[in-house]
Structure 1
């Protein structure tokens, strides 16, 4: 996996809320490794579609050698 997609955290039951600072807002994101095929899918169909497929397949995002879901 040589590509990454940044997603809202979905591993935890309680969502991470954005943090409001004096002059900025901080949103917490996960850097999820994805295959070339998954990257192309996201470019063609959109990140929300890819995110749905990744979640439906319960990917192990810590396994850089996992098989592509596509």
Structure 2
């Protein structure tokens, strides 16, 4: 089911999660199962974690450059 959703629908669902709307309500609104809504939520969390890791890597790189100067 996750592959059948359009990209715009996935972004809309992610926006609802970011606003704090509950998984059950999102599933009902978009006529998807709660497990599909959960998978989208997990994907959102994974993307956020990757962004945080990238920020830390960039920060460490910057600190290393400052230390070398």
TM range (shorter): under 0.3
- The one of the two structures with greater contact order (alpha-carbon pairs below 8 A, sep at least 6) is 1
Give the greater-gyration-radius structure (CA): 2
Q: Which has the higher helix share?
A: 2
